[in-house]
Amino acid sequence: MQIKSKLPRVGTTIFTVMSGLANQVGAINLSQGFPNFNPSDRLQQLVYEHMQRGDNQYSPMPGLLPLRERIAEKMERAYGRPLDPDTEITITAGGTQAIFCAIAAFVHPGDEVILIEPCYDSYRPSVETVGGTAVPYALSAPDYRIDWAAVGRLVTPRTRMLCINTPNNPTGTLLREADMLAISRLLKNTDILVMSDEVYEHLIFDSEPHASALRYPELYERSLCIYSFGKTYHNTGWKTGYCIAPPELTREFRKVHQFNVFSANHPMQAAFADFMADPAKYLGLPEFYQRKRDVFQQAMANTRFRAVPCSGTYFQLYDYSRISAEPDLDFCKRLTTEFGVAAIPVSSFFSNGRDDKVVRFCFAKTEDMLERAGELLARV
């Protein structure tokens, strides 16, 4: 039997590969992005209470209404946009599933999707699964600055979507107001949609605001904005997120979502709805993660790695060109097996595997683990 792969160049994701290797050799795992600490006890307790109360069957397809109402309140407070929970918010089985549905609902075979690279590794396979073509625009370290005129030159009559991500995984950079206005101008009078991946919305440092697509009316009109509870409440394994989009876009999004997962975890949604009534539960996040970034940078100060500036997310890039010329994947594997710290090679975030000798560390970890990682990496 001949199997005709839809993704012939795709293997197992780098997150699974590196976490697997880290577990196998007992290394500190700073590769795949997830916290090594638990979500709030109260939140866990709420999940259990809802399970006991009987919230164990399917939730409504778009998600529990009380949760969508809490999200609408939060977004209006944070970004000044009133939202209709009925027609603009859909709860998903995590950010990655929302990204897939946002792409699958709108990208037709032969359509082009502009990706700004380095970018999260699910974007391109999502585009290709539905027969689209990814058109990458590659940025360079250390500032990864975007020239929107150059992005504009990639637009063709087949362009269906532009994928943006702020704060950015893996670079730790932000899109700012000028970027969002430039995107609005660039796409004005076109039918091009925007997939705005904002899953790290609360992980922004040095008191900067989050330039959400929700803040810009002309941009929001054409946007599917993606969020993640996992990043905000320290429970990436609960796989719960959401998509916010204007009613016409949400209608199409849900057509795909309903036949992809139908609905997300019911007891988790019910617990989040209760928990979100208190904004204090997420408003402290920038300081919480900024401190971790600083502790990690401090722990790395005695190493030969060179830090790339990090303004957001829980990822910190380091240039290792002073240490080695080996390919970044080999270097990451060697760091894991010989030095006991796992990282992600940034070449995995480029379509063409470009290797700038930069690796990504996740600092969503307890301070003792970050300090220990710094000690181990000082030996490299």
Quick one: angle between helices 266-275 and 41-53, nearest 10? 130
CB of residue 165 vs ligand GLN: minimum separation in angstroms?
11
State the residue for tokens 């959401």. Answer: 242
Write phi, then psi, for 353 (nearest 5 degrees). 65, 25
Mark residues 3-22: x for contact with ligand GLN by CB under 6 A, - for none: ----------x-x-------
Site for ligand GLN in 152-191 (CB under 6 A): 169
Count Cβ atoms within 10 A of the Cβ of residue 35 and give its class: 0-12 exposed, 13-18 middle, 19 or more buried: buried
Closest CB to ligand GLN: residue number: 33
Distance of alpha carbon 374 from alpha carbon 372, whole angstroms: 5
Distance of alpha carbon 319 from alpha carbon 324, whole angstroms: 10
CB of residue 123 vs ligand GLN: minimum separation in angstroms?
12
Task: State both tokens at 167.
Answer: 């704060």
The continuous run of DSSP H or E covering 161 comes out as: strand 159-165
Beta bridge pairs of residue 362: 315
CB of residue 13 vs ligand GLN: minimum separation in angstroms?
6
What is the number of alpha carbons within 13 Å of residue 295 lying toward its C-beta? 19
CB of residue 70 vs ligand GLN: minimum separation in angstroms?
24
The site that binds ligand GLN (CB under 6 A) totals a number of residues, namely 6
Interface with ligand GLN, residue 32, by CB under 6 A: yes
Distance of alpha carbon 267 from alpha carbon 54, whole angstroms: 9
Interface with ligand GLN, residue 303, by CB under 6 A: no
CB of residue 121 vs ligand GLN: minimum separation in angstroms?
8
Interface with ligand GLN, residue 339, by CB under 6 A: no
Please write down the long-range contacts of 127-130, taking CB distance under 8 Å and 24 or more positions apart.
Answer: 127/103, 128/6, 128/7, 129/6, 129/7, 129/100, 129/104, 130/103, 130/104
Interface with ligand GLN, residue 148, by CB under 6 A: no
Q: Which is nearer to ligand GLN, 33 or 35 (CB)?
A: 33
CB of residue 200 vs ligand GLN: minimum separation in angstroms?
9
Amino acid (1-letter code) at residue 232: T
CB of residue 317 vs ligand GLN: minimum separation in angstroms?
12
- How wide is the angle at C-alpha 242 spanned by C-alphas 53 and 138, nearest 5°? 150
Distance of alpha carbon 22 from alpha carbon 14, whole angstroms: 12
Q: Which is nearer to ligand GLN, 12 or 57 (CB)?
A: 12
Q: Which is nearer to ligand GLN, 98 or 187 (CB)?
A: 98
How many residues in total does the chain contain?
380
3-state helix/strand/coil string of 119-150: CCCCHHHHHHHCCCEEEEEECCCCCCCCCHHH
Q: Which is nearer to ligand GLN, 32 or 263 (CB)?
A: 32
CB of residue 140 vs ligand GLN: minimum separation in angstroms?
20
Q: Which is nearer to ligand GLN, 125 or 246 (CB)?
A: 125
Interface with ligand GLN, residue 33, by CB under 6 A: yes
Site for ligand GLN in 34-53 (CB under 6 A): none
Q: Which residues bind ligand GLN (CB under 6 A)?
A: 13, 15, 32-33, 96, 169
